[in-house]
Amino acid sequence: MSTALITGASSGIGQAFAQELAARQTNLVLVARSAEKLHQLAQELQLQHNIQIEVIVKDLTEPNAAADVFDITKTKGLTVDLLINNAGFGDYGDFAEREGERQVKMLQLNVLALVDLTHKFLPLMRQRHSGSIINVSSIAAFQPIPYLSVYAASKAFVLSFSEALWAENRKYGVRVLVVCPGPTETNFFTEARFPTAFTGKTSKISTSEEVVNDALKALAKGDSTVVSGSFLSKIITNMPRFLPRETLVRILASQFKA
């Protein structure tokens, strides 16, 4: 039986990954800050599917957090066959007016923790000539987004980084996929502190389960990238090919200005 480690597993897309993989008889390592939510989810999935679940309560923005998670898996003798780097958050608003510490924490979680965890688990997968990594990005990765400047930039990093690793690791039998969801039914908009009126501007909202389904199908095919969401989401990811960058950014600024 294989084992998947999922960050940000207590809600949203991370929770949906946990539920789907548990149904497929995959053992789980669930990582997030919320002890109560993690333990409740673990208990429910163990009862429903009779699998082994380890819970690691950890804030991945803390120093050495990724190393702590890795060391716990080693101590418990766990082999991580699938690493899902899902944890992340956004912050809406004019960059110059936002809290600086929050911007730094966003990069620590969305980028640094993801890179650190990948670097710790990937060499072991290469040694075994098996394993998979799913990194959760966003359709925001495909262009700069005013008023979501740091978030979009962090997700652009995840997209570029993941596609490069896909190419580097094919010969080792390790699959790397980046999934780029459009607007999804999670607490993203609340956590990012979007104005209430803004959520009405979004295109069709996908469920977390739809994102997970798209990701796992793409991983099975060996794809490097999958855009999950409505047809409009797929159009948005291709807009930079057809519009001058300054024109595109001006359009997005008008769309994202509350």
How would you classify the pairing of strands 27-32 and 3-7? parallel
Q: If we measure between CA atoms, which residue out of 22, 29, 14 comes closest to residue 49?
A: 22
151 is known as an active-site residue = yes
- Residue 204's identity, in one-letter code, is K
Q: Which two tokens stand for residue 212?
A: 């997970």
Q: Which two tokens stand for residue 172?
A: 């080792």
Residue 49 in contact with residue 22, Cβ under 8 Å?
Answer: yes
CA distance 84 to 12: 13
Q: Give the position of tokens 């766990």.
A: 78
Q: Write down the catalytic residue from 92, 147, 151, 172.
A: 151
Give phi and psi for 150, each to the nearest 5.
-70, -40
CA distance 179 to 165: 14
Query: Which residues, in sequence order, are CB contacts of 244 under 8 Å at separation 6+?
Result: none
Q: Which two tokens stand for residue 116?
A: 């650190």
Active-site residue numbers?
151
